[in-house]
Amino acid sequence: METTSDFLNIKDVNTAFKINGKYYDAISHINLKVHHDEILAIVGESGCGKSTLATTIMGLHDPSETKISGEIEFEGTDLLKLDEAGYNKFRGAKIGMIFQDPLSALNPLKRIEDQISEVMTYHTNFTAEQKHKRVLELLDEVGIVNPERTARQFPHQLSGGMRQRVIIAIAIACKPDLIIADEPTTALDVTIQAQILDVLRKIQQENHAGIILITHDLGVVAETADRVAVMYAGQIVEEGTADQIFNKPKHPYTRSLLRSMPQRDNENDDLYVIQGNVPSLQKMPTTGDRFAPRIPWIDASAHEANPSMHEVEPGHEVRCTCYKSFTFPDQTGSVKV
Amino acid sequence: MWKTVLRRVLIMIPEVIILSLLVFLLAKAMPGDPFTGSINPKADPAQLHHLMEMNGLYDPWYQQYWNWVVHLFQGNLGNSYQYQEPVTRLIGSRAINTVWLALLTTFLTYCFALPMGMFAAKHEGKLPDTIIRFYTYITYSIPFFVVLVIGIWIFGYVLGWFPTTGSVSATAASGLPTYGSHLYHIILPSVLGALFGTVNVVQYLRSEVIDAKRSDYVRTARSKGVPEKEIYKHHIFRNSLLPIAAFAGYSITGLLNGSIFTETVFSYPGMGLLFINSINYRDYTVITALVLIYGILNLLGTLLSDIILSIVDPRIRIE
């Protein structure tokens, strides 16, 4: 891990959305690094800002509705300082994105071939023939059995899994260094999920790309990720290697998440449920530990006033000091909820 | 593609049969008979009885319907009582006028409305959008015949730029000048019709473009690094035109039967004016024929819409 360079360096990024004329932070003070040859998983429940982070890196926000600050350094360029034309040189070429819903992410009126070769039109000097060859190659690479036929088809003629493969083919068409996969398997059934993840891993190994895998599915994370960043309410609350996160979780939120996963060898049939909800953007607290309201049995003094990241081991960081005294209520047995 | 069209045409056959039955039976249900008004009131009732019998008016309705349909296929829709000439010839001479007027109006409507809808959606919520929306609401809320009357008054009477009645100048020489005169006569009604008929297209297109702008596939296109201008050209515009295309068939035939106002105000000798006059003079054969034609036009309009849609939208083609 030490030898690989970090080619994506996200520094102190804030993204705020305009709601009724006022800006509210959707993600705040995000610091992340992505290396070549690794899969970094970003996990968290719905509304924690994972997708916002992805679209911020891609520059897909409407500037009139959002305010973004910080720095996203990608191979030496600060993406946030680029204009549209400059950004377009990166999007599709050096950064590919895979979207959550394969059913709506393809243009219903265009043939698969046209949708894939469109990326190459703007980023390569390929002739029509070269593009056609590459399209078939890509479709084969993502595991489509009959590339010739699929290339001629329209999205509605393909199954969800095949469409997701097509979207992956689009994302990797120009061999990007970074692939952002925003919940790539959420809309698919489990057998297809595994195949799609295999495809992703294979491509990553071939191209030495870095992948940001955004998901709320801890099973997917355990299966694929090298490193994991856990997000809660727009902040990263814990970051470490997959091994560290799954075997030595520190932050109460990470531990709650892991505990709320159904387990086969659990004698207790009841699933652990994290109380409460993620606060909405307008109600997001600006100071204090954002997770504190959801673990009310923990004494207020355990939290920091302005929680910051603490390194617990090399490469393993956790927000706030409350992890030190955190226990689940039923495990201590004495705390009433 | 051809399968889709063929299937649609086959579906139309029972529709046309039901339509013709309805038209025929409604005409039969009208009070009175075709002869009482046209013969000497002092004539012997037996003679009238004989006339009715000769013309098969005492036959059972299905027999009469059958005869009517056979005549229809022979191109015989009967004679107009008012004009004393075959209905087919009467309508034929008027239909061509109406078709030209409808085509030019439709063409101009799209010329005005498509750029307006696009422009409004592109600048959603900003000043151009507000102005265009305001314009469509205003034009939508003014009754069309008022527009026509004011239009005639300003452009025909005060400024004297355009003729105010008829479809061709009586003094125009035959050949090219006649066509010129025809065109000259339909400019004012079709421009007014187009300027005040944009609301549907503009509003549809605007909301479609706004939807498309936020759609997932446009986001995918953005993530491919496609410049915004190309995204509009290749992804947003084409996809937004679907409902407009679906609407085109209806709107053309809608204009053919909806031209009653325009033709009446402009005394333009088309089918609409003929329809109104026939109703005024109780010219039953003409009314029946026109109702049947309007009905078939509507069916053709939906057929046309479906065909256009199957060309532009691969999802509804039958492979």
H/E stretch holding A96 reads strand A95-98
Q: From CA B112, how far away is CA B125, in angstroms rounded?
A: 20
Q: Is the model's pLDDT at A3 over the cut of 80?
A: no
Token pair in block for residue A237: 């609350």
CB atoms within 10 A of CB B153: 12
Are B221 and A118 an interchain contact pair (Cβ–Cβ within 8 Å)? yes
Among all residues of chain A, which has the CA nearest to that of B239?
A109
pLDDT of residue B256: 72
pLDDT of residue A332: 56
**DSSP secondary structure string, A7-29?**
EEEEEEEEEEEEETTEEEEEEEE
pLDDT of residue A117: 92
Comparing A3-7, A78-82, A162-166, B42-46, the range with the smallest average pLDDT is A3-7
Long-range contacts of B59-63 (CB under 8 A, 24+ apart): B61/B25, B61/B28
Which residues of chain B are within 8 Å of residue A110 when distances are taken between CB atoms?
Answer: 234-235
Q: From CA B126, how far away is CA B214, in angstroms rounded?
A: 17
pLDDT of residue A239: 93
CB atoms within 10 A of CB A138: 25
Nearest CB neighbour to B217, from listed A84, A87, A105? A105
**DSSP secondary structure string, B57-109?**
TTS-HHHHHHHHHHHHHTT---B-TTT-SBHHHHHHHHHHHHHHHHHHHHHHH
Q: Is the model's pLDDT at A1 over the cut of 50?
A: no
Task: Please check whether residue B73 lies inside any domain of the structure.
Answer: no
Select the more confidently predicted residue: B173 or A111.
Answer: A111
Q: Is the model's pLDDT at A300 over the cut of 60?
A: yes
Nearest CA distance, A236 vs chain B (angstrom): 25
Instruction: Please tell me chain A's helix, strand, coil percentages from 3-state DSSP, rounded to the nearest 5.
Output: 35, 25, 40
Among all residues of chain B, which has the CA nearest to that of A101?
B216
- Interface check for A131 against chain B (CB to CB < 8 A): the answer is no
Architecture of domain A6-225: 3-Layer(aba) Sandwich (3.40)
- Substitution target in B126, B223, B315 with the highest count of A β-carbons within 10 Å is B223
Comparing A72-81, A204-213, B72-81, B112-121, the range with the smallest average pLDDT is B72-81
Cβ pair B189, B148 in contact under 8 A = yes
Q: Is the model's pLDDT at B72 over the cut of 70?
A: yes
Token pair in block for residue A229: 């960043």
Q: Count the domains in chain B.
A: 1
Distances (CA, A) of A130 to A56, A281, B28, B306: 32, 47, 70, 37
* Segments making up each domain of chain A, as ranges: 6-225, 249-263+270-332
Chain segment A238-271, per-residue pLDDT in tens = 999 999 999 999 998 998 888 887 776 666 667 7
Are A154 and B314 an interchain contact pair (Cβ–Cβ within 8 Å)? yes
Q: From CA A152, how far away is CA B109, in angstroms rounded?
A: 36
pLDDT band at A118 (very low <50, low <70, confident <90, very high): very high
Task: Please check whether residue B66 lies inside any domain of the structure.
Answer: no
Among all residues of chain A, which has the CA nearest to that of B228?
A84
Are A106 and B222 an interchain contact pair (Cβ–Cβ within 8 Å)? no
Closest to B6 (Cα-Cα) out of B210, B306, B309, B233:
B306
pLDDT of residue A133: 93
Which residues of chain B are within 8 Å of residue A171 when distances are taken between CB atoms?
Answer: 223
Q: Which structural domain, as residue segments, surrounds residue B310?
A: 87-208+237-316
Predicted structure pTM score: 0.79
CB atoms within 10 A of CB A243: 12
Closest to A268 (Cα-Cα) out of A279, A280, A260, A276:
A260
> What's the farthest any 2 CA atoms get from each other in chain B?
89
Are A118 and B224 an interchain contact pair (Cβ–Cβ within 8 Å)? yes
Q: Is the model's pLDDT at B204 over the cut of 50?
A: yes
Nearest CA distance, A224 vs chain B (angstrom): 24
pLDDT of residue B7: 84
Task: Please check whether residue B92 lies inside any domain of the structure.
Answer: yes
pLDDT of residue A148: 93
Q: Is the model's pLDDT at B34 over the cut of 70?
A: no
Task: Please check whether residue B213 lies inside any domain of the structure.
Answer: no
Q: Is the model's pLDDT at B182 over the cut of 50?
A: yes
Nearest CB neighbour to A93, from listed B217, B225, B238? B225
- Interface check for A122 against chain B (CB to CB < 8 A): the answer is yes
Select the more confidently predicted residue: B258 or A45.
Answer: A45
Chain segment A36-63, per-residue pLDDT in tens = 889 999 998 888 888 899 999 998 888 8
pLDDT of residue A337: 40
> What's the farthest any 2 CA atoms get from each other in chain A?
72
pLDDT of residue A112: 94
Mean pLDDT of A201-219: 87
From edge to edge, which strands make up the β-sheet containing A227-232? Answer: A95-98, A178-182, A210-215, A39-43, A227-232, A235-241, A316-319, A309-313
pLDDT of residue B254: 73
Nearest CB neighbour to B225, from listed A91, A106, A109? A91
Task: Please check whether residue B77 lies inside any domain of the structure.
Answer: no
Which CATH number characterizes residue B101's domain? 1.10.3720.10
Percent of chain B's residues with pLDDT above 90: 11
- Interface check for A74 against chain B (CB to CB < 8 A): the answer is no
Are A91 and B313 an interchain contact pair (Cβ–Cβ within 8 Å)? no
Q: From CA A74, how far away is CA B3, in angstroms rounded?
A: 53
pLDDT of residue A5: 65
Mean pLDDT of A116-124: 91
Whole-complex ipTM: 0.84
Percent of chain A's residues with pLDDT above 90: 31
Are A91 and B314 an interchain contact pair (Cβ–Cβ within 8 Å)? no
Burial of B143 (0-12, 13-18, 19+ CB in 10 A): exposed
- Interface check for A149 against chain B (CB to CB < 8 A): the answer is no
Cβ pair A38, A227 in contact under 8 A = yes
Mean pLDDT for chain B overall: 83
For Cα atoms B150, B151, B157, give the angle at the middle one, nearest 5 degrees: 90
Q: From CA A183, how far away is CA A99, in angstroms rounded?
A: 7
Residue length of chain A: 337
Task: Please check whether residue B216 lies inside any domain of the structure.
Answer: no
- Substitution target in B215, B219, B220, B315 with the highest count of A β-carbons within 10 Å is B220
Task: Please check whether residue B190 lies inside any domain of the structure.
Answer: yes
- Substitution target in A109, A110, A112, A175 with the highest count of B β-carbons within 10 Å is A109
